[in-house]
């Protein structure tokens, strides 16, 4: 039971959730659940029907850790929202939001993984705009920068210039379109083309398609990751990432397939096409 309390608290401190009209109620409900769990622990780890129901409810909300989810990545690669090689044995799909401090904190870790496993790890970015009032236009700008071959440069500059992720200080002006358009020429972007692509159908359709794809797997917070299809929510440190990457890399290299074919044939070809909760039966 203590582990369950800690897991709820840890998750809430490493992920961003959407701004919605129900967010206060959700936070109140979470706080009540945590108070109830703490009370059960204080009573000696309390069992009974209430604890069992709480554990079952938590289990239904969690992805099965044994599941491999077939997350589409082709469109993001084609547009250029990728860090690392186009073909790799280990694919990390990062569902991120440009106003999420935890996404900012984990960005250097993802870059380090690509560096530490040259040619073997790639990070593919999927848009999950959980703060639309603040950064919807910034997500469009990221896509537009990718079309100019500079997504990584854009994203690094965004985290560096727009705000401080460690103090979570955000300057609304710097988050605005006026704010970021002032510095995009400094990273080699053509501002006129950037604006045209931001307003074009291709980027708008990509962001909508990313959200739809992630909904299939019930991703509702950022950052969330699929590492060769294995789901993990919330920011992790480099060591935790490497444990997963090493395991997946070993399995992928042992498959006998070239890196260029592994994701399509194994993850997409054999992976699950929709969310499966922990404890749920595997599809036939």
- One DSSP character per residue, 40-70 reads HHHTTS--HHHHHHHHHHHHHHSBPTT--B-
- Identify which of 181, 176, 115 has the alpha carbon closest to the alpha carbon of residue 145: 181
Question: What does the alpha-carbon distance between residue 86 and residue 98 come to, in Å, rounded to a whole number?
Answer: 23
Region of 121 on the Ramachandran plot (φ > 0 left; ψ -120 to 50 alpha; else beta):
beta
Ranges under pLDDT 50 in the chain: 1-12, 20-31, 33-34, 37-38, 40-41, 43-60, 166-167
Question: What does the alpha-carbon distance between residue 275 and residue 218 come to, in Å, rounded to a whole number?
Answer: 6
pLDDT of residue 235: 86
Which three-class secondary structure state does DSSP give residue 187? Answer: helix
Domain residues of the chain, as ranges?
A: 2-61, 74-270
Residue whose token pair is 């639309």: 132
The answer to whether 174 touches 180, Cβ cutoff 8 Å, is: yes
pLDDT of residue 171: 61
Burial 78-99 (b: 16+ CB within 10 A, else e): ebbbbbbeebbbbbbbbbbbbb
Burial 130-166 (b: 16+ CB within 10 A, else e): bbeebbbbbbbbbbbbbbbebbbbbbbbbbeebbebe
Q: Which CATH number fits domain 74-270: 3.40.190.80, 3.40.50.150, 3.40.30.10, 3.60.15.10?
A: 3.40.30.10
Question: What does the alpha-carbon distance between residue 195 and residue 197 come to, in Å, rounded to a whole number?
Answer: 5
- Per the structure block, which two tokens stand in for 42? 């204080």
Question: What does the alpha-carbon distance between residue 58 and residue 62 come to, in Å, rounded to a whole number?
Answer: 7
Q: Report CA-CA distances (Å) from 88 to 69, 153, 191, 266.
A: 17, 21, 32, 13
pLDDT of residue 270: 96
- The set of residues, in sequence order, having a beta carbon less than 8 Å from that of 240 and lying 6+ positions away, is none
Question: What does the alpha-carbon distance between residue 92 and residue 230 come to, in Å, rounded to a whole number?
Answer: 9
pLDDT tens, 225-274? 999 999 998 889 999 999 999 999 999 999 999 999 999 999 999 999 99
pLDDT of residue 41: 42
Question: What does the alpha-carbon distance between residue 211 and residue 200 come to, in Å, rounded to a whole number?
Answer: 18
Question: What does the alpha-carbon distance between residue 267 and residue 68 come to, in Å, rounded to a whole number?
Answer: 7
């Amino acid at each position: 039971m203590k582990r369950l309390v800690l897991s709820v608290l840890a998750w809430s401190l490493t992920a961003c959730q959407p701004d919605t009209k129900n967010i206060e109620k959700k936070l109140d409900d979470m706080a009540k659940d945590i108070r109830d769990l703490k009370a059960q622990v204080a009573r000696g780890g309390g069992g009974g029907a209430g604890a069992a129901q709480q554990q079952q409810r938590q289990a239904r909300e969690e992805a099965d850790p044994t599941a491999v989810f077939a997350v589409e990545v082709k469109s993001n690669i084609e547009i250029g929202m990728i860090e690392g090689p186009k073909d790799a044995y280990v694919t990390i799909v990062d569902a991120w939001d440009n106003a999420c401090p935890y996404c900012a904190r984990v960005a250097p870790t993802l870059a380090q993984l690509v560096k530490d496993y040259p040619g073997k790890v790639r990070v593919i970015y999927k848009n999950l705009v959980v703060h639309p009032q603040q950064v919807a236009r910034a997500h469009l700008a990221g896509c537009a920068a990718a079309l100019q071959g500079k997504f990584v440069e854009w994203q690094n500059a965004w985290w560096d210039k727009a705000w401080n992720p460690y103090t979570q200080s955000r300057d609304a002006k710097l988050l605005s379109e006026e704010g970021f358009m002032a510095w995009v020429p400094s990273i080699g972007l053509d501002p006129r083309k950037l604006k045209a692509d931001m307003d074009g159908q291709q980027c708008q359709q990509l962001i909508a398609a990313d959200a739809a794809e992630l909904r299939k797997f019930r991703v509702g917070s950022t950052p969330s990751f699929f590492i060769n299809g294995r789901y993990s929510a919330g920011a992790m440190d480099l060591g935790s990432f490497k444990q997963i990457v090493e395991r997946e890399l070993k399995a992928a290299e042992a498959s006998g397939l070239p890196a260029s074919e592994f994701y399509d044939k194994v993850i997409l070809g054999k992976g699950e096409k929709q969310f499966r909760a922990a404890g749920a039966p595997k599809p036939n």
